[in-house]
């Protein structure tokens, strides 16, 4: 005992052969907490977890348990924020588990500016009275989508829910093809989303083939809207048929078109297989819904563009308040949308677009740097778009392949670093894909 505190040796917890004696020899939570140089509450929490873990380990037959060392590890972990910056080396561009789209520099700056103090979120500076938070993006989004009006909510599923509630709702029907009853991330399903709007779902056609006549036979006095949902995270091929948005819009009832990924760039070849927001608007869809954080490359948001009467109905619905967008996401979205006014600028500055259209020479240089630092080799592999977009698109490119007797262990070590690095394992090797890394991230990882 030194200075009134138990020594590390006293707390090492070397287990005697007798399990009961070993359990009895475990130090108390108070003694372990006293040995930690930390605020009392944090020290007690770490000590309690360490002692509990040691008890369970001894009961399971562990030979020796170092309680103090474990408490130090737990204390260090507790000091780390739970939500942390990570390096995405997986090659999945829009990685749902890693936060989907990284923001452009302009969007990051806009978030910082809005977070530093007060902002004119719902205040009209010119008139000196209350304004609408939608005013910051409504005109910009309408311009880019060539739509009469626009509304933004907090995510894509909320946009579909609000559209169904506003155009159909209780006592009305929403007609949808069976082939479009998709399940999106987190096990949320289109039928469940529509059900929450109060509307009744009417299924038409079959899983692989739906024709105009199927819709026509289902339409009636109770029809509130027709819903078209993009099969974003999978594709059906072969003996298939679906009705184009132009034909659906001519049937009469308002059409809600959920295009999913938010493709706003009609000139990038890699995005050719994703539905275009502008096409759906031009076809006459009442409301076109999409995400802000997929191929658009902005923050999490649900974008709604279309006819002024339909958007006005959504804006006036009580759900609009419940699913409204927050000021930081709004700041990032406005900055991202402004980049799209110049398509070439957007392709350079919006990270998702830049990754999809990355220069092969740049990717190869990054891969060589990584391979040299880790004792690996450069080989070819396939990256993916991810995020429920372009499931069939394969992005061929160089990766750093690191052979290791235990690739799982190496991947775990990479994740345990600061910042954590999330790689992928293929063919018993760890792959570091430079497509989803910046030059700065590559250099930082190589130095580490």
List, for residues 399-415, the tens digit of each pLDDT value: 999 999 999 999 999 99
Q: How far apart are CA 428 and CA 87, in angstroms?
A: 21
Q: Are 54 and 70 in contact (CB under 8 A)?
A: yes
What's the full length of the chain, in residues? 448
Look at 62 and 114; give whichever has higher pLDDT.
114
Least confident interval from 62-66, 139-143, 367-371: 62-66
Q: Which pLDDT score, from 0 to 100, does residue 15 have?
A: 42
What are the residues facing 400 on neighbouring strands?
378, 432
Q: What's the rounded mean pLDDT across residues 20-46?
A: 89
Q: What's the rounded mean pLDDT across residues 189-216?
A: 93
| Nearest in space to 227 (alpha carbons), one of 286, 279, 184 | 286
End-to-end Cα distance, the chain: 38
Q: How far apart are CA 281 and CA 273, in angstroms?
A: 17
Q: How far apart are CA 403 and CA 210, in angstroms?
A: 49
| Nearest in space to 84 (alpha carbons), one of 446, 420, 351, 444 | 420
Classify 359 as helix, strand or coil.
Answer: coil
Q: Which pLDDT score, from 0 to 100, does residue 8 have?
A: 47
pLDDT level of residue 388 (50, 70, 90 thresholds): confident
Q: What's the rounded mean pLDDT across residues 23-50?
A: 91
What domains can be seen in the chain, in order of their start residue? 19-79 (no CATH), 87-97+353-447 (3.90.1150.180), 105-349 (3.40.640.10)
For 242, left (φ over 0), alpha (ψ -120 to 50), or beta?
Answer: beta
Mean pLDDT of the chain: 92
pLDDT level of residue 186 (50, 70, 90 thresholds): low
Q: What's the rounded mean pLDDT across residues 91-119?
A: 96
pLDDT level of residue 11 (50, 70, 90 thresholds): low
Q: Which pLDDT score, from 0 to 100, does residue 13 have?
A: 47
- For residue 240, pLDDT over 90 is answered with no
Determine the distance from the C-alpha atom of residue 320 to the mean position of all C-alpha atoms in its chain, rounded to a whole number.
22
Read off the pTM. 0.88
Burial of 213 (0-12, 13-18, 19+ CB in 10 A): exposed
Q: Are 436 and 93 in contact (CB under 8 A)?
A: yes
Q: What's the rounded mean pLDDT across residues 242-257?
A: 96
What are the residues facing 35 on neighbouring strands?
none
Q: Which pLDDT score, from 0 to 100, does residue 85 have?
A: 95
- For residue 128, pLDDT over 70 is answered with yes
pLDDT in tens, 147-165: 999 999 999 999 999 999 9
**In 17-171, alpha helices (H):** 19-24, 29-34, 40-59, 67-79, 105-116, 138-145, 156-167
- Could you say which DSSP state residue 304 is in? E
Tokens read off for 158: 């909320």
pLDDT level of residue 272 (50, 70, 90 thresholds): confident
Q: Which pLDDT score, from 0 to 100, does residue 80 have?
A: 85
DSSP string, 121-158: TTEETTTTEE--GGGGTHHHHHHHHT-SEEEEESSHHH
Q: What's the rounded mean pLDDT across residues 193-213?
A: 94
pLDDT level of residue 76 (50, 70, 90 thresholds): confident
Dihedral (C-alpha) 29, 35, 37, 39: value to the nearest 10 degrees? 30
Q: How far apart are CA 426 and CA 374, in angstroms?
A: 17
Least confident interval from 165-179, 332-346, 389-403: 389-403
Q: How far apart are CA 305 and CA 143, in angstroms?
A: 10
């Amino acid at each position: 005992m030194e200075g009134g505190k138990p020594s590390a040796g006293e707390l090492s917890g070397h287990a005697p052969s007798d399990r009961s004696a070993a359990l009895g020899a475990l130090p108390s939570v108070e003694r372990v907490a006293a040995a930690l140089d930390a605020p009392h509450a944090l020290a007690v929490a770490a000590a309690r977890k360490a002692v509990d873990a040691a008890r369970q380990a001894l009961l399971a037959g562990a030979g020796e348990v170092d309680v103090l060392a474990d408490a130090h590890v737990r204390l260090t972990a507790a000091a780390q924020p739970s939500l942390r910056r990570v390096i995405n080396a997986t090659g999945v561009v829009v990685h749902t588990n890693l936060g989907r789209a990284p923001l452009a520099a302009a969007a990051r700056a806009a978030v910082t500016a809005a977070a530093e103090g007060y902002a004119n979120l719902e205040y009209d500076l010119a008139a000196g009275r209350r304004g609408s938070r939608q005013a910051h993006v409504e005109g910009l989004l309408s311009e880019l989508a060539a739509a009469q009006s626009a509304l933004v909510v907090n995510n894509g599923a909320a946009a579909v829910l609000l559209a169904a509630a506003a155009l159909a709702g209780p006592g009305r029907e929403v007609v949808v093809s069976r082939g479009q009853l998709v399940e999106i991330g987190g096990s949320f399903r289109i039928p469940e989303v529509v059900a929450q709007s109060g509307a009744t779902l009417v299924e038409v056609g079959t899983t692989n083939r739906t024709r105009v006549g199927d819709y026509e036979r289902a339409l009636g006095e109770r029809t509130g809207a027709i819903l078209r949902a993009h099969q974003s995270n999978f594709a059906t091929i072969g003996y298939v048929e679906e009705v184009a948005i132009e034909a659906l819009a001519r049937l009469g009832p308002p059409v809600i078109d959920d295009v999913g990924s938010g493709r706003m760039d009609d000139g990038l070849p890699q995005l050719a297989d994703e539905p275009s927001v502008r096409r759906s608007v031009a076809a006459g869809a009442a409301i076109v819904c999409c995400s802000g954080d997929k191929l658009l490359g902005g923050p999490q948001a649900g974008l709604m563009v279309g006819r002024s009467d339909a958007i006005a109905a959504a804006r006036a619905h009580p759900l609009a308040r419940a699913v409204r967008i927050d000021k930081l996401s709004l700041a990032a979205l406005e900055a991202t949308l402004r980049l799209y006014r110049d398509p070439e600028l957007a392709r350079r500055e919006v990270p998702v677009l830049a990754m999809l259209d990355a220069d092969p020479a740049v990717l190869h240089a990054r891969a060589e740097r990584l391979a040299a630092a880790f004792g690996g080799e450069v080989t070819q592999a396939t990256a993916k778009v991810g995020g429920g977009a372009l499931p069939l698109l394969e992005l061929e490119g160089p990766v750093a392949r690191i052979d290791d007797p235990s690739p799982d262990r190496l991947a775990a070590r990479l994740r345990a670093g600061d910042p954590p690095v999330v790689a992928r394992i293929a063919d018993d090797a760890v792959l570091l894909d430079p497509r989803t890394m910046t030059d700065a991230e590559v250099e930082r990882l190589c130095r580490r």
